[in-house]
């Protein structure tokens, strides 16, 4: 039976406030709380909440036959917990149905997988912990930031225990192959690849309300017919998109929520089912291995990483940020580590893009800055202050190798001191025990000998009188 595998992503970055050169060294708080509150609250009420309620109805009305998956960044969870906690409650209800799987993604929606394997591992583990603690579920499938993937990332995910990864069905990788199959990672054969069907995904996410589109208006029965008419041996159609497609990018007045809610009814009529990513991996065998030598993504026409690292501005900011990674990993300052996560968000680099034409329009639409250069200047001012704070703990004049050696010496000394303290504590206990036993012995030796117990006197016999 042919099936649809839905994945809806939820992510909102911590947007930066206007940070001037003169703020460096004087102001260590970088975030625009008013804007973050306004955007997250608006999108939650226009999109996230009605979309989640729609998914709940779809599950209930179809007896649990409708299934989907959700991936959510840790930074989005933090903001939603603060500004719209009722939406987190809705996500918990979806998790409780056991018809919605939660997919792990980098906690900060970062680009760490491209340069810092240790940071990437930590963020994926943090995401798994979040999913377990909030929703009581174990994440076994991963989704990297913007579907970024290559052969170097696959072994890392496999080593973390993931069984599969969602990524982009990039044409220059697939060639004549279809994204509607399950593939194995060439560099980690046990890891399964679920490739996004870009055309069918973007028919909803991008073209649904486009009146100039030849297929407008798109109805649920027409859409399901397209899926049902794909070749019979193509068993799975992966539809991956942002949750804010519903109500935000495609406003409610376009009928997008009614379209979504009608899909299961027409799917049932055409013999099309729904699966979670874990079910796909468990039930559908891979048709072959797929190698991805250079990183791919779901962004822009090129489907590569140029959306974030396509110009000198972006690469300079990226290099500066991860240039202090070693020192941040070593520090124990909780606030510094938190800022480190927030500053890694891929969105900051996306806003610096200088692309033109269609790709450039998409970057400008989401950017809070007037120009990419303004985005770069603001970010670099913030980053300069952040680096000053890092240097206060671990001076940049010390090379990483030398710093590691010094810290190793400190750790060894700390371990030695801890061992000596344990030995000292043990000796103190022995001495105390000895003193107690010695005192008892002395008291026993000095005590006077007890007098022998007197025998009871016998009663005198009385003479009997005759």
Active site residues: 146
Q: Which two tokens stand for residue 97?
A: 């149905």
Report in angstroms the alpha-carbon separations of 90 from 97, 131, 287, 300.
11, 14, 37, 32
Element (H, E) at 108: none
Cα–Cα distance, 350 to 146 (Å, whole number)? 11
Q: Which two tokens stand for residue 188?
A: 């980690």
Q: How many CB atoms lie within 10 A of CB 458?
A: 6
Q: Which residues does residue 103 pair with via DSSP β-bridges, in sequence order?
A: 71
Please provide the size of the chain in residues.
Answer: 466
Q: Are 178 and 321 in contact (CB under 8 A)?
A: no
Is residue 254 classed exposed, middle or buried when 0-12, 13-18 and 19+ CB atoms within 10 A define those classes?
middle
Cα–Cα distance, 168 to 120 (Å, whole number)? 19
DSSP per-residue letters across 296-341? B-SSTTTTSSHHHHSSHHHHHHHHHHHTTHHHHHH---HHHHHHHH
Closest-CA residue to 267 (of 95, 68, 7): 68
Q: Are 187 and 293 in contact (CB under 8 A)?
A: no
Cα–Cα distance, 454 to 223 (Å, whole number)? 111
Cα–Cα distance, 124 to 115 (Å, whole number)? 15
Closest-CA residue to 368 (of 8, 19, 9, 10): 19
DSSP single-letter state for residue 31: B
Residues 6 or more apart from 398 whose CB is under 8 A from it?
A: 406
């Amino acid at each position: 039976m042919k099936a649809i595998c839905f994945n809806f992503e939820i992510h909102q970055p911590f947007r930066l406030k206007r940070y001037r050169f003169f703020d460096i060294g004087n102001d260590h708080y970088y975030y625009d709380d008013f804007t973050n509150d306004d955007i997250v609250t608006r999108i939650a009420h226009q999109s996230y909440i009605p979309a989640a309620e729609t998914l709940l109805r779809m599950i209930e009305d179809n007896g649990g036959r409708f299934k989907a998956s959700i991936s959510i960044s840790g930074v989005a969870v933090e903001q939603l917990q603060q500004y719209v906690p009722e939406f987190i409650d809705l996500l918990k209800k979806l998790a409780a149905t056991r018809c919605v799987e939660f997919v792990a993604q980098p906690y900060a929606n970062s680009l760490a997988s491209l340069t810092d394997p240790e940071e990437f591992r930590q963020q994926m583990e943090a995401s798994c912990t979040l999913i377990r603690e909030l929703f009581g579920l174990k994440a076994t499938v991963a989704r990297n930031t913007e579907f970024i993937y290559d052969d170097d990332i696959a072994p890392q995910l496999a080593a973390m225990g993931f069984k599969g990864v969602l990524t982009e069905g990039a044409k220059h990788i697939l060639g004549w192959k279809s994204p509607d199959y399950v593939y194995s990672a060439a560099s980690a054969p046990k890891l399964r690849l679920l490739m996004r069907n870009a055309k069918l995904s973007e028919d909803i996410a991008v073209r649904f309300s486009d009146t100039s589109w030849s297929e407008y208006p798109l109805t649920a029965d027409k859409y399901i017919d397209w899926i049902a008419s794909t070749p019979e041996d193509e068993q799975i159609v992966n539809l991956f998109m942002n949750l804010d497609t519903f109500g935000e990018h495609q406003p409610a007045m376009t009928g997008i929520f009614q379209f979504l809610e009608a899909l299961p009814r027409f799917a049932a009529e055409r013999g099309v089912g729904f699966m979670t990513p874990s079910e796909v991996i468990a039930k559908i065998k891979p048709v072959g291995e797929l190698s991805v030598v250079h990183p791919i993504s779901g962004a822009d026409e090129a489907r590569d990483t140029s959306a974030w690292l396509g110009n000198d501005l972006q690469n300079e900011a990226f290099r500066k940020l991860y240039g202090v990674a070693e020192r941040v990993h070593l520090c124990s300052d909780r606030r510094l580590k938190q800022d480190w996560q927030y500053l890694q968000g891929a969105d900051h680099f996306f806003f610096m893009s200088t692309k033109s034409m269609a790709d450039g329009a998409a970057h400008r639409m989401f950017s809070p800055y007037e120009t990419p250069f303004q985005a770069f200047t603001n970010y670099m001012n913030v980053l300069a202050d952040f680096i000053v704070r890092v240097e206060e703990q671990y001076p940049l004049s010390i090379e990483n190798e030398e710093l590691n050696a010094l810290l190793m010496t400190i750790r060894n000394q700390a371990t030695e001191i801890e061992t000596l303290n344990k030995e000292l504590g043990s000796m103190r206990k022995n001495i105390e025990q000895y003193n107690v036993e010695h005192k008892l012995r002395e008291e026993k030796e000095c005590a006077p000998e007890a007098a022998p117990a007197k025998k009871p006197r016998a009663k005198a016999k009385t003479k009997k009188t005759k």
